[in-house]
Amino acid sequence: MKTPFIALDQLDKRYPDHHAVKSINLDIDAGEFIAIMGPSGCGKSTTLRLIAGLDEPTGGEIRIGGDSMRGVPAFQRNTPMVWQSLALFPFLTVAENVAFPLRMQKVGAAERRKRSLEWLDRLGLASMAERNIAQLSGGQRQRVAIARALVTEPSVLLLDEPLSALDAHLRVRMQTELSRLHRELGITFVYVTHAQSEAFALADRIVIMSEGHIQQVGRPQDVYRAPANAFVAEFMGMNNLVRGEVRSTRDGVLDIAGALGDFRVPSATPRPQGSKGDFVIAADRIALKPEADGEGLSGTVLGLEFVGSTQTVFVEIEGGAEFRVQKQQHEIEALNLVPGRKVKLSWNPEHAWLLPQAA
């Protein structure tokens, strides 16, 4: 059986007024890129700090490379962290900032200089080695922080919302840079973020947390298309949750009735009549038609949100529920989708995802 490189076993963290992490279990393979997501206060940054050794767990255990981290201080773990605030030293040059961890390890001056310049060159900053930090742009400072974290050649890199302070253009560039570094270095990245786009673009697997618990772990496409529960479905943002109860089961299909009407949803296993039959339908799998055109849920366009090559259409269904539908610009124009427009919504039953029943 393969041994995980990082193992969190019943990891727990309590503060005097807050239970931040509640007995979570997570295995991370060597060289894997893991993104931890969740709303503010869910425990994701605390989990990162526990791995780094910046906080001591209240219970459970952390193992890195098969070794228990119980009682091992942060400076002995070689698990550097890139912070949202970067925490660069304004009184040191760029090269001195990068070399600082080596200085703490008592590496000689000549070797410190050599290795810091090598990493600055690798990140395209060699010409700025003698500059003051204040002379750099936000993206350049971010790369200095990454170089400083990697100069000790760690086997793990921890990143706590490292791109949140950058503008949209720089975020995309830095995502590309992080992805390249991960491929080239082959080390384990554990990345905390609020941004779904970052997690989807970078991570091999995504961890969704809520109120100190892990709600789901999986590949980005699986978490998006097959959420484990209603919280994950709604947190992902572009899933529409339909609540109902099972009326009957036949031929691998559930007949579900709810406030919005009657629906057919595939299910590999039957469910008893009257049990929960909540399901989700992704925003990009909903068809929109003029109101007079065929069957479907009747609704009114509330507004549109431009998100690049697509637009999100917000539709109020008769009865008060709000659906999100993603469409290409040419589809928006063809249907003349403007606020107040009456439309019909429909989808292929095979695209509905039945939420698992609570344990």
Domain boundaries, the chain: 6-234, 238-354
Residue 27: the pLDDT is 98
What is the average pLDDT across 307-336? Answer: 89
Q: Is the pLDDT of residue 180 over 70?
A: yes
Residue 4: the pLDDT is 94
CATH superfamily for 6-234 is: P-loop containing nucleotide triphosphate hydrolases (3.40.50.300)
> CB count, 10 Å around CB of 289?
14
Binning pLDDT at 50, 70 and 90, where does residue 359 land? low
Q: Is the pLDDT of residue 212 over 70?
A: yes
Closest CA to 242 of 254, 253, 252, 256: 256
Residue 214: the pLDDT is 98
Tokens of 336: 């003349």
**Alpha-carbon dihedral angle through residues 39, 44, 45, 51, given to the nearest 10 degrees:** 180
Residue keyed to tokens 């393969």: 2
pLDDT digits (tens, 9 = 90+) for 63-108: 999 999 999 999 889 899 988 777 889 999 999 999 999 998 899 9
pLDDT digits (tens, 9 = 90+) for 127-173: 999 999 989 988 888 889 989 999 998 999 999 988 877 777 778 88
Q: ∠220-225-226 over CA atoms, to 5°? A: 95
CATH number for 238-354 (one of 2.40.50.100, 3.40.50.12780, 2.30.40.10, 3.30.930.10): it is: 2.40.50.100
What is the average pLDDT across 164-184? Answer: 84
Prediction pTM value:
0.89
Q: 330 CB contacts (<8 Å, ≥6 apart)?
A: none
pLDDT digits (tens, 9 = 90+) for 255-265: 999 999 999 99
Residue 1: the pLDDT is 66
Residue 24: the pLDDT is 97
DSSP 356: P
